[in-house]
Structure formats: structure tokens, C-alpha cells
Structure 1
Amino acid sequence: MDLGEFRNLIATVRGEIGKVVQGQDAIIDLVLISIFAGGHCLVEGPPGTAKTLLARSVSAAMALIYRRIQFTPDLMPGDVLGVNLFNFQINQFHLTKGPIFTDILLADEINRAPPKTQSALLQAMNERMVTLDGTDYSLGPDFFVLATQNPIEQQGTYPLPEAQLDRFLFKLVVDFPDRDTEIAILSKHAKQALQSDMRNAGIRPLVTSATLAEGRALIDAIHLDSTILTYVVDLVRATRSDADILYGASTRAADALASAVRVRAAFEGRDYGLPDDVQALLVPALRHRIILSPSAEIDGRTPDEVLRNIMNRVDAPR
């Protein structure tokens, strides 16, 4: 597979997911970029904005195993990771794997669970393995977490600590669709009930685990010129000296942004990154990695607004 074929494949996958998830084209793109970059996504939005449907549709289009965990205040780490149970018949322990042993995991309402359970998931995300009773179990190279959370001002939530937020490649903000899209959704659902089986909804499984590995090999060969890398670093460093930001983004954030830039370039069929790639991905890659100053919060500024101001100030390479 060459870059042209890869671009066509991604365009087809977008179309397959778009059969079910409407009005979220930018979100679909960012989720696909995250998967091919080997990252994870945190999606924030109100209930009923197709977050669960998005995860199921992506897994169906990519022929990957999908599981969902509904996070609740009484969810324990063992409910996520699994437990070793003693089998009296064979007189030894037997591992009962938890739902984390999958390809695509939807961690629904992750900020409803207590910090101990959140940490169990986020450690597995970072290391792509689970440790139970001193034994390591690999989760595989295709392991991807799409975690959803309610807006932080809602009751009964446990905000994710900044160090754990940093393990997500992107934070995506989903809002209600516009009026025309909402009408189109209602019209479609009036003719065809929601299907529990994505194959019945018309989504074709186009990307296998082997195809995913092949695509990642192409992405690894994407060239980022020194001017692009310098631009990424300058943008990240600017977050550390901005008056509106209390804590800026880390070096891990710069590395994550550069990885995402390579994927976006490959999606467009290019073997090189552009400043446009950096600018398109800066906000979703950094909005959860900065902490605004108290004065900026009092003035009503948002991370997105502050990051766009930085992007306007830092000169892009020509």
C-alpha cells in the first residue's frame, strides 16, 4: 500500500462511519488520527451527542473488537482489569480477564468513577499492559481507548488529574449538531431504527489489524522538516510563558503533536508535514494539557481561545 491508496482507504472509512454518525466529520477525523498515531481520545460533551455510537461505528469500520465500560462511583479496578480467581478443581489461580482486554474500549463517563479506578485504566493506557498479581499481560498494539466525560460542572463527577489527562493524545469537545443536521438525523431514524449490529447499519469492516500496522509503517516514514519541528516546539514553549496560562504543555505534548501531524499528512496523501497540519491539531492536542491562570478564568477565557491567540502570535514557517 502506498500513500495514495492509504488516503483513499481513509476517505472510504470516513464515509462508512458517516453513514451512521452525522454532523461530526471533524471529530471522526481526529479519532482516526488518534488510532493511527497510537494514542487515545478523551471526548467531552453532553449526553445524546453520539459519543457511544461514534466508538461503535469506528470499531465496526476497522474490523476491531469493541467493548464498553459504564463508569460508576462503585466501579472497582478489578471490574476493569480482571481478577485472578482460585479454581479448586485444578488447585490453581485462573485469570478472568476484564473488559479492558479488547481493541477499542469505550470508557463511558470516566469522570463518574473514583480516582483509584480511573488510575487503573490510565496506567494500562500508558503502558499497554495490565499487571495482575505480579504478572504482566499485554493489551496489544491496536489497543485504543475512547473515554467520554460529562462537562465538569455537572454533579457527581471526579475530575481527571492533569498528569492523567496528559496521557490522552486529544481532548475532543462534542456539541449538539446544527439545526439542519438534527433534522436529517431525525428523518433518517424515522425510516430506519438504530441497529445494535453495525453491519446491519451498512458499515463495512475495511481496516484489519494488518492494515493498521501497514498504515502505521507508512506514517513512520513521513518527513517532518526541521522548520516544522521547530514550529511545534515554539508553540508548546509559548504555552509556558503566556500570561493567561498557569502551567504550560510538556515535552510529551510536543511529541504527541508531532506524531499527530505525521498521521494527518499521510491521511492527505503527503509524505511531509505542513504548518497547516500543526495548526489544525494544536487545539485538540493541547487544550487538556494546559491550566489557565486564575485571572484568565475570572475573565472568562477558555483554553481554546488562549491557544488560538498563541497560534496567531507564533510565526509559522514559510
Structure 2
Amino acid sequence: MAQERVSNDLKALSEAYAQISSQIERFVVGNRPLIEMMYVGMLSGGHILLEGVPGTAKTVLAKTVALLSGCEFRRIQCAVDMQPADILGVRVYDPEKRDFILKKGPIFANFVLIDEINRVSPRTQSAFIEAMSERQATIDGIRNRFSDPFFVIATQNPYEFEGTFPLIEAQKDRFMFSAHLQYLSADEELEIIRRESTGYLDWEAFSEEIRPVLAPYTIQQYVRTIQKIRVEGPIMHYIRDLILETRSHDHIWLGASPRASIAFVRGSRALAALNGRSYVIPDDVKNIARYALPHRLILRREADIGGITTADVTEEILAAVEVQ
């Protein structure tokens, strides 16, 4: 009976994801891998760090995913003078109640987009990271839990360094996944021009047509279901071998932490679920590796000078390590 319920949940989740993807593609051009990773992150209980060029529909995509998931969405535009209280909230005195009440900050939402996190000071960055990791905010010594699900997408622009505070490696490691966004292809760019010329890229009109496919309580149910997806012994050994290879590779100075192993397991399960499977296959692990490893690796100086990237090294590792 339990296995039958898992199968039914996986089928429902797979169908819901297909419906969501179809609706998103009506408005958003390209970015299909990112759409998939957003749901993998949400269902894995992790958060995503996005790096890359501006204007690639990150905000629109995040808002659309949140609306289709039936979740409350908040966007936080970071600035250098932003303080922790600006995002967490403060306790203010209420004369009528004769007591201090909590005025919640924008981070109290199901789905939070933190735009340009490298614009805020290290102190405020730490507040963000702590809130993400603990899923709560401590204000005046009182712990305030966030609602479930709680999912964060943080962005940073790697091309503008003036007045920025890049995340340190330990902070990056707190993000379960990362992605480096590129410009769209020529055909995709042309499709955007076509849609804009016909008035099809009207966010207000599109958002009014959106009807949630999921709800917070169904997402929580699917999260529990995903935890029951099978990860067989050979797959576990494969994940271990990939992690160990990052710690001995010639181009890598600092390899992946145990958090990467957890990201592999959770992400692979979520990816299998989106495809309607109750078991993880090697291709799930390979796909997750491209999002779980690059931001966790620190290259040796000579490799960095030679123009080698962590994405390049990740592909080398995937080519070298085989499933036993």
C-alpha cells in the first residue's frame, strides 16, 4: 500500500511538473535546465546560487515558478547599505497591545529571490546565510520559524566588482546548487523579439492567467515522498567516487565537502521524481553534478591562470569516473 502511494505521488508530481513547464514556456524563452533545477532545489530542501549576465529572466522565472507552485513570492534587491533588520524584520512597540510585536521582513515568504547578494556587506550576507541554513530568524533573542516550503534563489553578477563583497567559499557551500547563466542562442533571442513585437511579453496579462498547479501542502507531501526514492549501492559508490575525485584532481586545490554528497543524494532523488521514477540512475547523478560541484571547487592558481574553469574540471571528473 505504501509503495502504491509513492507511485501515485510520483505520477502526480511528474504530471504537475510537465504542466508547469508547459505554462512557463508560454512566456519564458529558453532556460529549461534552470526551470528544472528550481524544482529540484525546492523539492530537495536546498537553495540555488545563480551567476551570470543580467536580463536573463531570472526574476520573471522565479515569480512564475512561485505562482504556479501556489507559493508566496518576495524579491529582495540588495544594496551596500542594507542591514540585517531590513531583511529579517524588527520588533516594534504597539501602543494598543502595550507590547512589542514583530514586523516581519521580506525573507518571511515561501519563495525568496535575493538579487545581487554580493552587493550587501559581509554582516548582512551572514544574516542571509544563517536564515537560509537554519530556516528561522532570531530577532531580539526570539526564534521565528519560516513557513514551509522555504526556498531561496540568490543571484550575483560576476562582471561588476566595484562596491561588491564576493561570497566566501564557506558561504557558497551553503547553497545546495548553483548555475552560471549565459546569453540566449540566436534563435531564442529572435523568439524574444517576435514575442515583444506582437505584445506577447506582457507580464501583467500573463500573470493574471496563471492558476497554481501545486500548493505548499502538496509540495511538503512530495518532499516526503522523494525521501523514499531508492538510491542503490552502485549509485552511492558512484557519488562517493565523484566526491573523492574532486579531492585528488590535479587542477583542484580544495575539493567538495560532505555537503556536496548530501546535495547529490537529495538532488538525484528529486530529479528522478520529476521524471516519474522511484529510483535514481547514473544520468541523474551526472546532471546534478553540473549544479552541485562547480561552486564548491577551488582551483589551483596555475589552472585558474590557464583559463580552466570549475565547470571544465567537473566535466573531466564525470568523464573519468565510471559507475562500478
Instruction: Tell me the TM-score normalized by structure 2.
Output: 0.94
List aligned pairs for 1:137-286, cutoff 5 A. 137-151=144-158, 154-192=161-199, 193-196=201-204, 198-200=206-208, 202-286=209-293
In 2, the alpha carbon distance for the partners of 1:94 and 1:57 equals 32
Q: 1:88 to 1:197 in 2, by over 3 A?
A: farther
Q: CA deviation at 1:197?
A: 6.4
Cα RMSD, aligned residues only: 1.4
Residues 126-180 of structure 1: CA deviation (Å, up to 9, x unaligned)? 0101100110000022011011110155432210011111111111111111111
- Give 5+ residue unaligned stretches, structure 1: none
| Equivalent residue, structure 2, for 1:14 | 21
- Answer yes or no: is the 8 Å Cα contact 1:236–1:249 preserved in 2: yes
In 2, the alpha carbon distance for the partners of 1:145 and 1:6 equals 21
In 2, the alpha carbon distance for the partners of 1:53 and 1:199 equals 10
In 1, the alpha carbon distance for the partners of 2:237 and 2:105 equals 42
Residues 254-289 of structure 1: CA deviation (Å, up to 9, x unaligned)? 111111000111111111101111111102111111
| One-letter identity of the residue aligned with 2:43 | F
Percent identity over the alignment is: 39
| Equivalent residue, structure 2, for 1:302 | 309
Tell me which of 106, 113, 120 is aligned to 2:113.
106
- Answer yes or no: is the 8 Å Cα contact 1:4–1:269 preserved in 2: yes
Q: CA deviation at 1:204?
A: 2.5
In 1, the alpha carbon distance for the partners of 2:10 and 2:97 equals 53
In 2, the alpha carbon distance for the partners of 1:82 and 1:3 equals 38
- Answer yes or no: is the 8 Å Cα contact 1:21–1:57 preserved in 2: no
| Equivalent residue, structure 2, for 1:80 | 87
SS of corresponding position for 2:16: helix
- Answer yes or no: is the 8 Å Cα contact 2:64–2:207 preserved in 1: no
Q: 1:284 to 1:58 in 2, by over 3 A?
A: same
| One-letter identity of the residue aligned with 1:13 | I
| Equivalent residue, structure 2, for 1:121 | 128
In 1, the alpha carbon distance for the partners of 2:38 and 2:53 equals 18
Residues 168-207 of structure 1: CA deviation (Å, up to 9, x unaligned)? 111111111111111111211222252246533x333101
In 2, the alpha carbon distance for the partners of 1:237 and 1:95 equals 46
In 2, the alpha carbon distance for the partners of 1:204 and 1:173 equals 30
- Answer yes or no: is the 8 Å Cα contact 1:17–1:203 preserved in 2: no
Aligned residue pairs, count:
316
Residues 73-129 of structure 1: CA deviation (Å, up to 9, x unaligned)? 011100000011123444321211000100100101111111111110110000101
| Equivalent residue, structure 2, for 1:290 | 297
- Give 5+ residue unaligned stretches, structure 2: 1-7
In 1, the alpha carbon distance for the partners of 2:282 and 2:34 equals 20
| Equivalent residue, structure 2, for 1:316 | 323
